[in-house]
Structure 1
Amino acid sequence: MTLYYNRTKGVMSMAYAQQEGTRHTSFAMEDTDNGSRARSHVIVVEDAPETQQAAARQARKQAYLALTGSALLQLPIWGFAMTFGVFQEYLARTNTPRGSASSSGIIGNVQNGVMYLMMPMLFTLLDRGRWSVFRRSVAITGILLSTISFLLSSFSTQLWHSIILQGVLAALGNTMLYSPTTLYLDEHFKAGRATAYGAILSSKNIVGTACPLIFSALLDSIGFRWTLRIWSLIVLITGLAGIGVMPKQSSTSAVRRSPQKVPWSFLKHKTFYIYSIANAIFSAGYGIPQTYLSSYARDTLHLSTISSALMITLFNIPGIISCVGFGLMSDKAGISATANTLISAAGTSLTALLLWGLASNRIEAVLILFAICCGFFAGGYSSTWGGWIKEFEKEAAENNEALNTGMLYGMFNGARGIGYVVSGLAGVELLRAGPVQDSRRWGYGTEYGSLILFTGLSAIVGGWSVVFRGWSKARRCWTMLH
């Protein structure tokens, strides 16, 4: 490109020259002062292909750093919440702190609920405008808040102490860490968003696989107070390490520094409400086995503490595969979001109703099979969200509307949070309700019978979006043809 500027005439002209793959940039300035003319040239030569390759390499590096940092941060964010079932079994058995024997299950579900419910607000605030520059500060503050909350909860003497410190404050800190770092991931993986989300969810399930056995061993050897103190240290170290790995700026930071209007147009489309309601209902049931599976194994099959904790591990292991698998089904195989959702929801429901509800209280192999199969299908549900977002992007393009995908992902997490809150409140009452039949031959006949039925029914209703959207599309096609 050649740029000419004549200060006397106030005229600027530009010309482009491309020769043998090299871009030549020439700046020529003319000035007239007291009859004399001075002319200067500045030539800048750039190799366009090399520059583009360097930019592409830098973008890939930033993307992989975002992926690596996000994967590492799954430990401090989800390590406690995903394996609370082990804590619940210990607290109920020891009644420590006081009041835990009958209602300790509410802690884990409240923690999950608060985390997910806070995500829409934080995703919205940190994704656009002036607040986006504070992402790292918010994440570091979240690490410190979570660390302090877990440390203080080790001194709890009443159940409500743990509910406030672990269920609310630690959850808030975890959300402050999760939201800004996930936004980095969303910005660096526009094309393979579903696969990237699947990879992070697989990391989350790796955490959920390892932590139950670690927590079980620590609780039995040093008790819950020192276990929480050790955990607070782990949260601090791994949290700061993960933040250190993350890129210091987003791929679109230059654009996002200027305040932008938040696009709320997606609220006008019924697709958002269909998926959100289905997501909340599914999540209400999904929280039940995470919380009560370990206690169920101990109470019905009389398994040891470590074997009971192993059930939570078996529940989380398959999600390592299914999270990536469901993401690839959306990104690579072209399977629709509604079909992906139906596969996940139907598989979860059938395993709960037919495996957990039948002979799982008498045959250990059946309970193991349930944990693996249910963990596979339920664990992949969140990976279908990437496909949902694709549908929203398509609708937005058809209607010439703006769409903020990071904020939309936060909204889906908020819907899941509603489900977890319902799960925590309903779980305690359903456990008190007891069996749904008199016979002790089946899982339905145990004190967990109502919980099992609730899990299966909520999962299948969580797939109803497929039927609703399928009917809507069929009706539109019929109208167009006639």
Structure 2
Amino acid sequence: MSTVTTTTEHELQENRRQVSIDEHDSASTIPLEPTEASPGHSLPRADGGKEAWRVLIVAFVFEALLWGFPLSFGVFQQYYSQLPEFQDSAFISVIGTVASGLSYLAAPVMISVVRRFARYRKLMIWVGLSIRAICILSLLASSFATTLGGLVATQGVLYGLGFITFYYPILSILNEYWIARRGLAYGIMCSASGLAGTVFPFAIETSLRRYGYPTTLRAIAVGLCILTGPLIPFLRPRVPVSAATAPSRTDWSFLHDPTFWLYSTSNLAMGLGYFFPSLYIPSYATANGMTPLRGALLLTLMSIAQVLGQLTFGYLSDQPRIPLPFLAGSSMLISSLAVYTAWGLAHTFPVLAAFALIFGFFGAGYTALWGRMGMAVSSEPSAAFAAFGLLNVGKGIGNLAAGPLSGALLGKGVEAGGYGVGRFGTVVLFSGTCLAVSAAVLPLGFVRRLRSR
């Protein structure tokens, strides 16, 4: 998942002490201990307590449901490619990449909106209740679509717009309740999308096989409505409206820091190559004579590894003795090698399963480092979060480009025993090369750091 953090001035006042670590290492300013509520307010307990855990559980459910669907698009990709009305199109993947790409591209805008109108958070959540209907209506509309363009507009664009409008206010509420232990809270919440990825592919594949895509999309729409609607009242802001003051002006001087552009270049290259495996591994399995059920199982294995990878790399990034460029570079290097070999040369299920586990662990681990990348370029909170949002844009560009690029790179016929079974060979090479470039630029961070000493 892509996660975004927002901060209010009131929240910063709740932290008695902070620890600052070298701005070009793996961490920056970390709040450790929240203070008691001011005399004028009786705030619910932060970093624990009934209200904090309730909000975290609600955020976990929304994360699982709203992210689990687009992350399982590989199953739809394989299914749509078998339908007579869509099988001749090489751009089916655009549907899935648009839905998730919008969530990344909108991060800076939504961060600014949430910070600018922090005192209206509660209203934003309730407005989000109606906006949530866009996600549901988009899926209902998709079920009636009979052209690729119709599916892109509904299952892709409309779903993505509804998602971003509702998702970011939820994160802003979560941030009020989890301050010193926010890493724990985000680790729990982010694991929801990976856990959903262990269930959604099987459920979607079974429904598509038995009932077709119109019925499946309608069932998902109804399910989202039933499961999310009753949770809205539990998203109550912790900070009183009068206490959420306007944020200070963001310091954009980090845009002149070469370290920011180093991470941005690496992130953009990663975004261009990262999405192809999850998009095509079910179709790749089918091209090798495996059943659609095994393709769904591969996505499930990748999701399980993703949860473990994000937790591991997130934990390691908190360790000041481990340089951040080393973590990010090793993540991309191992992912690149796995794509070149374990994916491109795979023709059996065990090899593809090994690839899904390796790529899921190391590839997803990179995204867990974004927060630290933002902190590495600025110790000023609003600037760090702005940098974090811009890193999301890099991945969003790659995400949106993945659909059209894959359509241009896909071959026409399957070549049994060939590299990438022929049809996927160029896609595999492009994906691996992008990840290799992402890894290659990061050692420059070590060089710059040594020269500055």
| Same fold flag (TM > 0.5) | yes
In the alignment, does 2:400 pair up with 1:415?
no
Using the size of structure 2 for normalisation, the TM-score is 0.83
**Is the CA contact (8 Å cut-off) linking 1:75 and 1:238 kept in structure 2?**
no
Q: Which has the larger radius of gyration?
A: 1
Write the mapping of 1:27-106 to structure 2, written as runs, cut at 5 A: 57-61=45-49, 62-96=51-85, 98=86, 101-106=89-94
More strand, by proportion: 1
Structure 2 residue 410 is matched with structure 1 residue 431: yes
Unmatched 5+ residue regions in structure 2? 1-34
Q: 1:274 to 1:255 in 2, by over 3 A?
A: farther
SS in 2 for 1:89: helix
The answer to whether residue 316 in structure 2 is matched with residue 337 in structure 1 is: no
- Answer whether contact 1:115 1:171 (CA < 8 A) is retained: yes
Task: Label 1:470 to 1:242 Cα distance change in 2 as closer, same or farther (>3 A).
Answer: farther
Residue deviations 1:361-420 (CA, integer Å, cap 9, x gap): 2x22111111111111112121111322331343x4xxxxx6354444333222211110
Change (3 A) 1:473 1:103: same
Higher mean C-alpha displacement, 174-183 vs 227-236: 174-183
Match of 2:372 among 377, 383, 387: 387
- Please say if residues 194 and 330 of structure 1, whose CA atoms lie closer than 8 Å, have aligned partners that are also in contact: no
Count of aligned pairs between the two proteins = 415
- Cα contact 1:322–1:379 (8 A) shared by 2: yes
CA distance in 1, matches of 2:307, 2:171: 18
Residues 84 and 291, structure 1, Cα contact 8 Å, conserved in 2: yes
Structure 1 gaps of 5+ residues are 1-47, 397-401, 478-482
Q: 1:108 aligned to 2:84? A: no
Return the alpha-carbon distance in structure 2 between the equivalents of residues 353 and 210 of structure 1. Answer: 28
For residues 240 and 334 of structure 2, the distance between their equivalents in structure 1, rounded to whole angstroms, comes to 39
Q: Deviations over 1:239-264 (max 9, x none)?
A: 33443433x21548544343643443
- Which amino acid counterpart does residue 430 of structure 2 have in structure 1? F
1:268 and 2:256 matched: yes
Equivalent residue for 2:217, pick from 203, 216, 228: 228
> Structure 1 residues 182, 49: closer, same or farther in 2, change over 3 A?
closer
Once residues 184 and 366 of structure 2 are traced to their aligned partners in structure 1, the CA distance between those partners, rounded to angstroms, is 13
| Match 2:308 to one of 321, 325, 328 | 321
* CA deviation profile, 1:23-68 (whole Å, cap 9, x unmatched): xxxxxxxxxxxxxxxxxxxxxxxxx99999x968455234433332
| Cα distance in 2, alignment partners of residues 50 and 292 from structure 1 | 51
Distance 1:373 1:270, change over 3 A: same
From 408, 419, 438, the equivalent of 1:443 is 419
Identity %: 27
- Aligned counterpart in structure 2 of residue 140 of structure 1, from 122, 129, 133: 129
Higher relative contact order (CA 8 A, sep 6+): 2
Q: Which amino acid letter does the alignment assign opposite residue 79 of structure 1?
A: G
Instruction: Indicate the residue corresponding to 2:290 in structure 1.
Output: 303
Give the distance between the partners of 1:241 and 1:339, measured in 2 at CA. 44
- Give the aligned residue type for 2:304: I
Change over 3 Å in CA distance of 1:244–1:377 after alignment to 2:
farther
Alignment partners' CA distance in 1, 2:118 and 2:183: 28
Of 430, 437, 445, the match for 1:454: 430
Contact 1:77 1:177 in 2 (8 A): no
CA distance in 1, matches of 2:37, 2:153: 55
Return closer, same or farther for 1:244/1:113 CA change in 2, 3 Å cut-off: same
Larger deviation, residues 326-335 vs 419-428: 326-335
Supply the distance in 1 between the matched residues of 2:372 and 2:322 (Cα, whole angstroms).
9
Find the residue that maps to 1:103 and give its secondary structure: coil
